[in-house]
């Protein structure tokens, strides 16, 4: 009896554990996972144009926000697994003809991607999301992660195909070499350099409103992707809602689904009416879009990737498994074939390349004969804040370009992650992605995304690729519902053909941007990192689309985050804050909406801008005194101005107050990005050759190229501005109550360089034991240079080499004596600043030891910046008095003339 009772108890416990496990692994259920329903129930969240941009920078930011949450204890393996189980569910599509009513969500994981997903996460990447800190992220951020990590293809007709798909065709034709044989599609080069957007850039809102008007006016009011006899909201209520808010009010899911269905609308031109008419016919049918939308894609400059596949590769590499087929199959007793039994499935391969190749082998190859095709190129609606990724074909979508790139990336990361983690046992997920998707690479300049095509044959030997494709195809064949039945020998044959197609496609058609083509400075391996307190003043006279695109591009390029740049967005007319000072990219995208833009006053008012900047900088310098902080960030005010001119009175005000800024905030730099003649701002900057930039009208049709070309000099200028070093004892009133030493820790990465500037306001008069010191902490051998004339001194510099002094340090210090550094200068402005550079080693150190939270990367080298006995010298009070006297004198003279 005791034995029976024990067995019964064990069975009950096992059943309970199994039930808990199934509930915990909710992303393998055949319905939308309960934790992900929030992304489909809320119209605002589901609307694609309201989502956070689908970029790698945004994905890294969200991961870093989780890692930085209070009390977070998970390592890289635990976080990768919990994120995938919490946010990834492949194959979710909308059910055609299903109404959105109470209790019904017309979405479910019914696409072919879900079968592979279920096998991976139930058997090869087991785990759960029980310990994921959901409260760390907002609903916008949680749903952004879900949409970034979940793969599916939306094939529904949107209504914009007449023009949208034609743009893709023109774009592809313009970039495909003419001499290639177009009949052999496996040899076609996509030439989607970096997955840039289409040649033309239509305005999304116009066509959306146009389609909605057509639907409201039509007596049948065909709703997108719904049956003609489907129930509709009350017509009068809709019309009232349109008058009140500009668009109909619907049930959340219905509104969300309908908004997304319209896709990326087009310019309101001659084709618009035709497109609208055609859409009413096509949308009511079950036709497939000629250029479907691919979901789960994130943009990188080196080709867009399927983010969920990359994370799955990392997770598999951190817990590799090689499983025999008989143990992997649900009913192994039915598959005793000798060809099947010896096979083993490696989860690193199944989660990346061979998982997608198996889908090609089973779903495409049997009907393709000798013409097996992999790859499907695509393009973004825009690469500045991208949200819509359109495929250039409607067939053969089992392995798209984004899946190929992600498969190679994921396998590279999976193969090397164990060795990297042994070198840096505290390696974070955000750090790994940050290193790989950048110019620096993961602990060297070889393993990085821009080298993936060259690394493919190394990481994926053909024989192993064939074996793993056959093995996983065998597993998937028993799990997937297919319209035909194939034998094991046929599976092997189809797998071989798929592998051959991929091996031919990658070197000839995966034509992504190279590392050299995307270098910030040609032939310079230096890793440039900006670190700024950046104040961006926007003139609302620019259309929202233009302002949003320009600011997005700038923020995406200047290292926004706690390791680099803080930014504040302000209005150029009244100086009011639009986006509060922050270190998160998401704050700008969630705050600066078209509706907010419409409420902002237009134009530029220099006095208001200067008053606001004085207030902001005073607050910042007062905070530096309270926290005893030496800064370590440059201070830049960037004006994005339309065509407003500056009046004579405002010009005089600006010139006078620039003198005050030079005394009170010597490190502040004003930059102008202006339409029209930018020369009208030359008098308001320190260096008109470097600080004033033209900004032409951003016309539809060339937005991205125009933005990237025009903003490249501005971004490089921000990156090159030296980081300010201050004596925090001065504060904003320049009153020093005590003397002594101040220091702060700084970090530099291999091949990276930090530039610093110390203004003479801190060492103008003679002082005993006054010095600037770089103290090495033994993390690596650093090269330190200083100069009084060269702003960016470097050891290999060809500019004024005689005025640059350099030395290498490790645990020792580099001192610059400033006891009498302004000897012979009667005024501060004639005394040159001190410029210092600290350059990391060319290669990572043998021992990687940067583990504190301030380390952006594990191979960072820590050092200290030390100031000894600095002073506080400013004639700001005299300058202000002089300006007041001049103003009074001018007023008296005016009154005298009038008398």
Instruction: Assign residue 837 the CATH number of its domain.
Output: 2.60.120
d(CA 108, CA 665): 58
> Where a domain ends, among 651, 683, 717?
717
Residues 423, 291 within the same domain: yes
Lowest mean pLDDT among 10-14, 313-317, 728-732: 10-14
Helix (H) or strand (E) holding 743: strand 741-748
Q: What's phi and psi for 672, nearest 5 deg? A: -125, 130
Residues 136, 62 within the same domain: yes
Q: In this structure, is residue 583 part of a structural domain? A: yes
pLDDT for residue 506 is more than 50: yes
**pLDDT bracket for residue 205 (50, 70, 90):** very low
d(CA 801, CA 577): 44
CB-CB contact of 590 with 144 (8 Å) = no
pLDDT for residue 216 is more than 70: no
Residues 543, 671 within the same domain: yes
CB-CB contact of 644 with 539 (8 Å) = yes
**Residue 71 DSSP class:** T
**Residue carrying structure tokens 């600290």:** 838
d(CA 888, CA 701): 54
pLDDT of residue 702: 43
**Residue 569 DSSP class:** E
pLDDT of residue 308: 98
pLDDT of residue 680: 94
Q: In this structure, is residue 254 part of a structural domain? A: no
d(CA 439, CA 448): 7
Return left, alpha or beta for 502; rule: phi > 0 is left, psi -120 to 50 is alpha, else beta.
alpha
pLDDT of residue 330: 61
Please state, in angstroms and as integers, the Cα–Cα distance from residue 65 to each residue in 35, 124, 141, following that order: 19, 28, 10
d(CA 480, CA 493): 18
Question: Mean pLDDT throughout 651-661?
Answer: 92
Q: In this structure, is residue 148 part of a structural domain? A: yes
Residues 503, 559 within the same domain: no
Secondary structure of residue 153 in the 3-state scheme: strand
Q: Which tokens sit at 797?
A: 């510099």
Helix (H) or strand (E) holding 706: helix 703-720
Looking only at the bridges linking them, the beta strands covering 813-817 and 771-776 are: antiparallel
Residues 702, 780 within the same domain: no
Tell me the pLDDT tens digit for each residue of 388-402: 999 999 999 999 999
pLDDT of residue 612: 96
CATH of the domain at 661: 3.40.50.410
CB-CB contact of 473 with 491 (8 Å) = yes
Q: In this structure, is residue 231 part of a structural domain? A: no
pLDDT of residue 100: 74
pLDDT for residue 20 is more than 50: no
Please state, in angstroms and as integers, the Cα–Cα distance from residue 381 to each residue in 43, 48, 68, 386, following that order: 21, 12, 32, 6
Query: What torsion, rounded to 10 degrees, do the Cα atoms 848, 851, 852, 853 define?
Result: 120
Tell me the pLDDT tens digit for each residue of 689-712: 999 999 987 754 444 446 888 899
Q: Go through 732-753 and write b for each residue having 16 or more CB atoms within 10 A of its CB, e for each that does not.
A: bebeeeebeebeeebbbbbbbb
What percent of the chain is helix, strand and coil (3-state, nearest 5)? 45, 15, 40
Helix (H) or strand (E) holding 306: strand 305-306
Residues 297, 426 within the same domain: yes
pTM for the full predicted model: 0.85
**pLDDT bracket for residue 207 (50, 70, 90):** very low
Domain range spanning residue 636? 532-717
CB-CB contact of 818 with 868 (8 Å) = no
CB-CB contact of 180 with 187 (8 Å) = yes
**pLDDT bracket for residue 586 (50, 70, 90):** very high
Total domains in the chain come to 3
Lowest mean pLDDT among 397-401, 430-434, 766-770, 863-867: 766-770
Q: Which residues contact 732 (CB under 8 A, 6 or more apart)?
A: 617, 618, 619, 621, 622, 625, 664
Q: Go through 558-580 and write b for each residue having 16 or more CB atoms within 10 A of its CB, e for each that does not.
A: bbbbebbbbbbbbbbbebeebbe
**78 or 198: whose pLDDT is higher?**
78
CB-CB contact of 156 with 289 (8 Å) = yes
Q: Which residues contact 366 (CB under 8 A, 6 or more apart)?
A: 484, 486, 490, 494
Q: Which tokens sit at 297?
A: 């894609």
Q: In this structure, is residue 478 part of a structural domain? A: yes
> Where a domain ends, among 479, 513, 547?
513
Residues 504, 604 within the same domain: no
Q: Which residues contact 267 (CB under 8 A, 6 or more apart)?
A: 163, 200, 202, 203, 206, 207, 700
Q: Which runs of consecutive H residues, i.e. helices, occur in 88-138? A: 113-119
CB-CB contact of 597 with 540 (8 Å) = yes
Helix (H) or strand (E) holding 291: strand 288-295
Q: Which tokens sit at 461?
A: 């030997």
Residues 503, 545 within the same domain: no
Q: Which tokens sit at 580?
A: 């509060």
CB-CB contact of 788 with 834 (8 Å) = yes
Task: Please return the burial class of 710, using the count of CB atoms within 10 Å of its CB with bins 0-12, 13-18 and 19+.
Answer: middle
Q: What's phi and psi for 568, nearest 5 deg? A: -135, 135
Q: In this structure, is residue 682 part of a structural domain? A: yes
Q: In this structure, is residue 187 part of a structural domain? A: no
DSSP line for 595-618: HHHHTSPPS--HHHHHHHHHHHHH
Mean pLDDT of the chain: 83
Residues 692, 785 within the same domain: no
Q: In this structure, is residue 233 part of a structural domain? A: no
Residues 753, 819 within the same domain: yes
């Amino acid at each position: 009896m005791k034995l029976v009772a024990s067995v019964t108890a064990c069975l009950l416990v096992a059943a309970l554990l199994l039930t808990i496990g199934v509930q915990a692994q909710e992303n393998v259920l055949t319905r939308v996972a309960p934790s992900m329903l929030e992304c489909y129930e809320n119209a605002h969240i589901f609307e694609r144009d309201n989502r956070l941009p689908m970029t790698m920078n945004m994905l890294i930011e969200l991961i870093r926000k989780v890692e930085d949450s209070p009390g977070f204890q998970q390592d890289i393996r635990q976080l990768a697994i919990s994120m995938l189980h919490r946010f990834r569910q492949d194959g979710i599509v909308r059910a055609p003809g299903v109404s959105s009513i109470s209790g019904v969500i017309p979405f479910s994981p019914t696409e072919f991607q879900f079968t592979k997903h279920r096998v991976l996460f139930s058997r090869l990447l087991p785990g759960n999301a029980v310990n994921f800190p959901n409260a760390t992220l907002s609903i916008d951020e949680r749903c952004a992660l879900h949409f970034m990590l979940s793969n599916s293809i939306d094939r529904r007709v949107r209504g914009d195909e007449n023009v949208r798909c034609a743009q893709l065709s023109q774009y592809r034709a313009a970039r495909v070499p003419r001499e290639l044989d177009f009949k052999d599609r496996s040899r076609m080069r996509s030439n989607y350099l970096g997955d840039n957007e289409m040649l033309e850039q239509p305005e999304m809102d116009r066509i959306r409103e146009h389609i909605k008007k057509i639907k409201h006016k039509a007596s049948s009011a065909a709703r997108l992707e719904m049956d003609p006899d489907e129930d509709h909201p009350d017509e009068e209520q809709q019309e009232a809602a349109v008058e009140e808010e500009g668009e109909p009010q619907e049930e959340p899911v219905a509104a969300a689904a309908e908004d997304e269905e319209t896709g990326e609308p087009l310019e309101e031109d001659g084709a618009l009416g035709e497109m609208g008419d055609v859409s009413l016919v096509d949308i009511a049918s079950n036709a497939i879009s000629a250029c479907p939308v691919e979901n789960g894609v994130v943009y990188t400059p080196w080709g867009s990737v399927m983010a969920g596949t990359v994370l799955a590769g990392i997770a598999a590499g951190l817990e590799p498994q090689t499983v025999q087929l008989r143990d992997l199959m649900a009913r192994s007793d039915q598959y005793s074939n000798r060809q099947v039994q010896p096979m083993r499935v490696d989860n690193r391969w199944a989660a990346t390349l061979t998982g997608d190749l198996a889908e090609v082998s089973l779903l495409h190859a049997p009907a393709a004969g000798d013409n097996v095709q992999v790859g499907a190129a695509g393009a973004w609606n825009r690469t500045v804040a991208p949200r819509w990724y359109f495929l250039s074909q409607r067939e053969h979508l089992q392995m798209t370009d984004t899946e190929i790139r992600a498969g190679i990336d994921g396998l590279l990361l999976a193969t090397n992650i164990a060795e990297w983690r042994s070198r840096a046992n505290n390696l974070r997920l955000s750090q790994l992605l940050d290193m790989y998707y950048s110019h620096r690479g993961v602990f060297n300049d070889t393993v990085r995304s821009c080298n993936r095509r060259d690394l493919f044959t190394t990481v994926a030997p053909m024989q192993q690729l064939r074996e793993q494709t056959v093995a996983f195809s065998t597993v998937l064949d028993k799990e997937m519902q297919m319209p035909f039945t194939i034998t094991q020998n046929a599976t092997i044959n189809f797998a071989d053909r798929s592998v051959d197609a991929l091996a031919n496609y990658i070197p000839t058609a995966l034509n992504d941007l190279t590392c050299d083509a995307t270098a910030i400075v040609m032939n310079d391996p230096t890793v440039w990192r900006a670190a700024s307190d950046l104040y961006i003043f926007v003139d609302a006279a620019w259309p929202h689309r233009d302002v949003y695109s320009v600011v997005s591009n700038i923020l995406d390029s200047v290292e926004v985050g706690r390791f680099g740049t803080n930014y504040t967005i302000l209005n150029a007319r009244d100086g009011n804050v639009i986006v509060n000072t922050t270190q998160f990219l998401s704050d700008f995208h969630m705050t600066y909406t078209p509706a907010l833009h419409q409420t902002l006053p237009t134009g530029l008012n220099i006095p208001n801008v200067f008053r606001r900047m004085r207030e902001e900088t005073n607050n910042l310098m007062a905070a530096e005194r309270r926290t005893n902080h030496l800064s370590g960030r440059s201070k830049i005010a960037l004006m994005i101005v339309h065509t407003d001119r500056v009046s004579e009175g405002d010009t005089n005000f600006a010139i006078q107050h620039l003198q005050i800024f030079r005394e009170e905030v010597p490190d502040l730099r004003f930059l102008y990005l202006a339409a029209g003649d930018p020369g009208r701002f030359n008098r308001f900057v320190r260096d008109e050759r470097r600080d004033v930039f033209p900004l032409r009208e951003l016309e539809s049709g060339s937005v991205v190229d125009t933005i990237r070309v025009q903003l490249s000099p501005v971004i490089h200028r921000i990156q090159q501005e030296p980081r300010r070093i201050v004596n925090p004892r001065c504060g904003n009133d320049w009153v020093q109550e005590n003397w002594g030493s101040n220091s702060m820790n700084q970090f530099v990465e291999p091949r990276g360089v930090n530039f610093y500037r110390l203004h003479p306001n801190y060492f103008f008069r003679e002082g005993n034991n006054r010095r600037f010191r770089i103290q090495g902490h033994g993390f690596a051998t650093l090269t330190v240079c200083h100069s009084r004339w060269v702003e960016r001194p470097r050891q290999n510099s060809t500019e004024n080499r005689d005025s640059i002094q350099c030395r290498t340090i490790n645990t020792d210090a580099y001192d610059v004596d400033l006891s009498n550094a302004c000897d012979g200068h009667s005024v501060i402005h004639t005394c040159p600043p001190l410029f210092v550079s600290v350059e990391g080693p060319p290669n990572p150190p043998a021992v990687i030891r940067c583990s504190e939270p301030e380390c952006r990367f594990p191979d960072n080298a820590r050092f200290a910046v030390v100031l000894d006995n600095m002073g506080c010298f400013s004639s700001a009070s005299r300058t202000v008095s002089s300006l007041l006297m001049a103003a009074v004198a001018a007023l008296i003279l005016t009154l005298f003339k009038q008398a």
